[in-house]
Copies of this chain bind each other. A is one copy, B any other.
Amino acid sequence: MAVELKGLPKARAKRGPWSTPCAAHDCRACEIRGLTFCAGLDENEVATLSSISRRMHFAKRHIIFQEGDSADVVYNVTKGAVRLFKLTPDGRRQVTGFLLPGDFLGLGSRKGYAYGAEAITEVELCRFERDKLETLFESHRGLERRLFEIANDELAVAQDQMLLLGRKTAKERMASFLLKLSEREELRGGRDGAVYLPMVQEDIADYLGLTIETVSRTISQLKRDGLIRQSSSHEFELLSTEGLEDISEPM
């Protein structure tokens, strides 16, 4: 592969104007109950969780944490979008995931986070200190089991992504990407076939192991082929889910 050399990691992320720790939040009124790792907890457990959670705001482009930071805080995304990424010393970037409302953020070993996390849009997070959370595990086993479940799901997603990066063409990658995002939106109650892409094409490129030019060209091609339509700058419509599936999983 001919690699895109971008020079040393530019100050891609400026510390945003604000990152506000807000007052403790009432989890029972949470916008995304049922999606997140709080899902399946009883009233009592949610109340306990509420007592150790804290709402945070981050501005667009704010770096929430860097790869290698000690992993003693975990979050739940309640609003906005986050990208996870890794960098090579010479500045190449691999985006390893995008987080949307309801997603969990902060899995990591005692060696620290294996990836950085950065706000794509203005973001609202529910913050938990890890050791406080682990104290809760003692009395609320379901919480620990839920976290383990999340880690397992993440692992499955990561393996799908390895297949995509190692063995799929640009067109297949793009189709897979759009379909997966669409599925995630459906779980969140979005309209069927409508996909909101909060990230820029550079993010998509770094996620799919491509360049921005190839991403752009591939999107253009999918449009020409009548498989997708762009309703606004960040809003797409999947005109043929079947067609995209045929592309993403070639027989």
Q: Which residues of A contact B (CB under 8 A)?
A: 1-3, 84, 86, 88-90, 92-94, 96, 107-111, 114-115, 144, 147-149, 151-156, 158-163, 165-170, 206-209, 249-251
Q: Which residues of B lie under 8 Å from residue A166 when comparing CB positions?
A: 94, 165, 206-209
Number of copies: 2
Q: List 5 A-B contacts (CB under 8 A).
A: A1-B170, A86-B160, A148-B148, A162-B162, A166-B208
Q: Decide: A96 near B162, CB < 8 A? Known: A149-B109, A169-B1.
A: yes
Least CB distance from A149 to B in Å reads 6
Q: Decide: A159 near B114, CB < 8 A? Known: A88-B167, A107-B152, A109-B149.
A: yes
Q: Choose one: B1, B152, B158; the contact of A108 (CB below 8 Å).
A: B152
Q: Say whether A94 contacts B144, CB under 8 Å.
A: no
Q: Choose one: B88, B161, B167; the contact of A93 (CB below 8 Å).
A: B167
Q: Decide: A114 near B165, CB < 8 A? Known: A89-B251, A149-B109, A160-B86.
A: no
Q: Which residues of B lie under 8 Å from residue A151 when comparing CB positions?
A: 148, 151-152, 155
Which B residue's beta carbon lies closest to that of A149? B109
Q: Say whether B155 contacts A90, CB under 8 Å.
A: no
Cα–Cα distance between A114 and B152 once the two chains are bound (Å): 9
Q: Which residues of B lie under 8 Å from residue A163 when comparing CB positions?
A: 86, 88, 94, 96
